[in-house]
Structure 1
């Protein structure tokens, strides 16, 4: 009789209940692939009950869910999650950015710190924001048994800023769902978006709305486009107020403003169709730990114009449309 214990991993997956963002894609694609390659490992994802999530992971027999009861993340991290790990005797537990202050000796703790951009681009973040995250991220980086990040750029910055000369940092790049590589009917996608949203022939941007994402450059470039029928679509939650973006948008004349659409809380299904129906995908961001949206668009063979800043400098496969966004004329010409 075998006495070998089944390996069990707990994953803090509360971000799976959030809007479309890089960390959500990271968790989802990492554990789908890990599940396929390690069918003898049991993966328990902690999140809030969501029928759509259950359906999405239903074919992964070794992925199960533990549903959180505590809505406060602070209380979950201090009480609920440590109790879950201890009572279920998990050997490994994986967190994004921050690990619990209360840990179990029999469990190995994994943390993925996607970026620390708030240190290199301080003018985009408040002092309180930087102090809080530096305290929590430094603590987690030093206490974690395994420290992960998503790009060599982030790896270098984390090692340098947190003085982790002797700690191993593993790079686990973000993945794009296989559905983005499948053939699709462009005309049907265009019709779907036009029928449901009344939008067609558009340039698409997908990601959160905040200053470092530099959406204002895309708005300014749009004002230079000599075309009556081109529209511009921004899909993303306004996570940090972007005053310049708001000012450019507010000062647009009615002719241009009617062709600019800022959308939030778009379902994954509709977002997928927005990608597929896009004429061009534009990503003018000034700072990224990785940058998934242009890769998703590229996988669908949508023409991509992307900034070459920070981690995005590795996206050389977008050349010659991988550009220095500081040179605004080059961006307009694309």
Structure 2
């Protein structure tokens, strides 16, 4: 009697140990849904031991963990991960951006390249940054059996820059977790943030701090508004020096400094309350391969002012709040309008649109087809 072997997939989950970013959300949320959808597939997540990560997957009996011993990612990719894949006899292995140079013939490799923005927006990235990533990403895109990305915008740019006209690129779109659609009283969140952080009545931006994220334009618009009652909050790690943003911060007087708040290490729970309590969630990024944060805010019925550039042009449900952020005057006007004009029907429409269009099952369905085909 023939007994079919249980499918096993290795997931390089080192990003789960990192700060808030879209790729971390992608790995976590995609595999929570995939695990639930495919209880017959064993999923082994490679990461560093962390009780919070284990807790995220505690309801999925088919999710196991393999804890890395090499802290250096290069050493992990060259030595540790190939050995893990070989010793466990994995059928599939899924990586973000880069696959190992040493591969197993019995394993099929999946790589998700979320974006290659450094090729279209070269002024925001050093030459060394671009050369290194182009070499690794192009190698991985060509070598992997399955190439994934998160938006049609990224798909088109990857195909163009890496000349992959004959290779199929599958889109596994980002989604919004169900947690963001749960009705949570705004007043409770406002009280929580005010009590814990001493901040209320604020504009919020959540993203890594780097030039293309355009924190500088948002800060300029905020300062020019000169609204004595409103604060601004930036949440995100500094990944690339943003000289213009830092220069503006250094020039602030004491009164202005009291209204500008920057946080890096914020828990998921606190971040949830920050988004829900915000007067406006602003996302003036100049370039994104997708852009999850404004969707999470919109799902919570927090007013969103969002850039209309690159992949974010798909977010047409934001209507007049999807703007050209190159124009600081336009950004300033949109912020003012949303601060003092409530539009509950628009917020409900945005939430409904996001719920219908952006859910993780779409990405999980694509991954399921790959694994079970």
TM-score bin (small chain)? over 0.9
Contact 2:276 2:300 in 1 (8 A): yes
Q: Secondary structure at the match of 1:237?
A: coil
Give, in whole Å, the separation in 2 of the partners of 1:227 and 1:139. 50
Q: Which residue of 1 aligns with 2:262?
A: 262
Give how far 1:2 is off: 4.9
Contact 1:210 1:242 in 2 (8 A): yes
Give, in whole Å, the separation in 2 of the partners of 1:77 and 1:150. 23
Q: Please report the TM-score for the alignment, with normalisation by the length of structure 2.
A: 0.88
Give how far 1:176 is off: 1.4
Q: Which residue of 1 aligns with 2:295?
A: 295
Q: Which residue of 2 aligns with 1:228?
A: 228
Contact 1:290 1:312 in 2 (8 A): yes
Give how far 1:330 is off: 1.0
Q: Which runs of 5+ in 2 are unaligned?
A: 335-373
Q: Which residue of 1 aligns with 2:369?
A: none
Give how far 1:227 is off: 2.2
Q: Which residue of 2 aligns with 1:169?
A: 169
Correspondence 1:192-271 to 2 at 5 A? 192-271=192-271
Correspondence 1:310-329 to 2 at 5 A? 310-329=310-329
Give how far 1:312 is off: 0.3
Q: Which residue of 1 aligns with 2:284?
A: 284
Give how far 1:266 is off: 0.8
Cα-to-partner distance string for 1:29-71 (whole Å, 9 max, x where unaligned)? 1111111111111111000000011111100111111110110
Q: Which residue of 2 aligns with 1:55?
A: 55
* Greater shift in the superposed pair: 234-243 or 251-260: 251-260
Contact 2:220 2:328 in 1 (8 A): no
Contact 2:98 2:137 in 1 (8 A): yes
Give, in whole Å, the separation in 1 of the partners of 2:45 and 2:232. 37
Contact 1:25 1:175 in 2 (8 A): no
Q: Secondary structure at the match of 2:55?
A: helix
Cα-to-partner distance string for 1:196-243 (whole Å, 9 max, x where unaligned)? 111111100000000000000100110122421200000000000000
Give, in whole Å, the separation in 1 of the partners of 2:84 and 2:37. 25
Computed over aligned residues only, the root mean square deviation of the Cα atoms, in angstroms, reads: 0.8
Cα-to-partner distance string for 1:86-123 (whole Å, 9 max, x where unaligned)? 10010000000000000000000000000000010111
Q: Which residue of 2 aligns with 1:86?
A: 86
The structure in which a higher percent of residues are helix is: 2
Give, in whole Å, the separation in 2 of the partners of 1:10 and 1:166. 27
Q: Which runs of 5+ in 1 are unaligned?
A: none
Q: Which residue of 2 aligns with 1:124?
A: 124
Q: Please report the TM-score for the alignment, with normalisation by the length of structure 1.
A: 0.99
Runs of 4+ in 1 over 3 A off after TM superposition: none
Give, in whole Å, the separation in 1 of the partners of 2:176 and 2:75. 32
Contact 2:10 2:46 in 1 (8 A): yes
Contact 2:35 2:62 in 1 (8 A): yes
Give, in whole Å, the separation in 2 of the partners of 1:73 and 1:263. 26
Correspondence 1:101-116 to 2 at 5 A? 101-116=101-116
Contact 2:149 2:173 in 1 (8 A): yes
Give, in whole Å, the separation in 2 of the partners of 1:254 and 1:216. 19
Contact 2:7 2:91 in 1 (8 A): yes
Q: Which residue of 2 aligns with 1:18?
A: 18
Give how far 1:308 is off: 0.4
Q: Does 1:152 align with 2:146?
A: no
Contact 2:189 2:276 in 1 (8 A): yes
Cα-to-partner distance string for 1:258-301 (whole Å, 9 max, x where unaligned)? 10001111111111111111110000000000001101101111
Give, in whole Å, the separation in 2 of the partners of 1:49 and 1:283. 33
Q: Does 1:330 align with 2:330?
A: yes
Cα-to-partner distance string for 1:174-211 (whole Å, 9 max, x where unaligned)? 12111001000111111111111111111000000000
The alignment covers a number of residue pairs equal to 334
Correspondence 1:67-86 to 2 at 5 A? 67-86=67-86
* Greater shift in the superposed pair: 59-68 or 135-144: 59-68
* Greater shift in the superposed pair: 177-186 or 92-101: 177-186
Give how far 1:133 is off: 0.3
Give, in whole Å, the separation in 1 of the partners of 2:279 and 2:214. 20
Q: Secondary structure at the match of 1:203?
A: strand
Q: Secondary structure at the match of 1:224?
A: helix
* Greater shift in the superposed pair: 231-240 or 265-274: 265-274
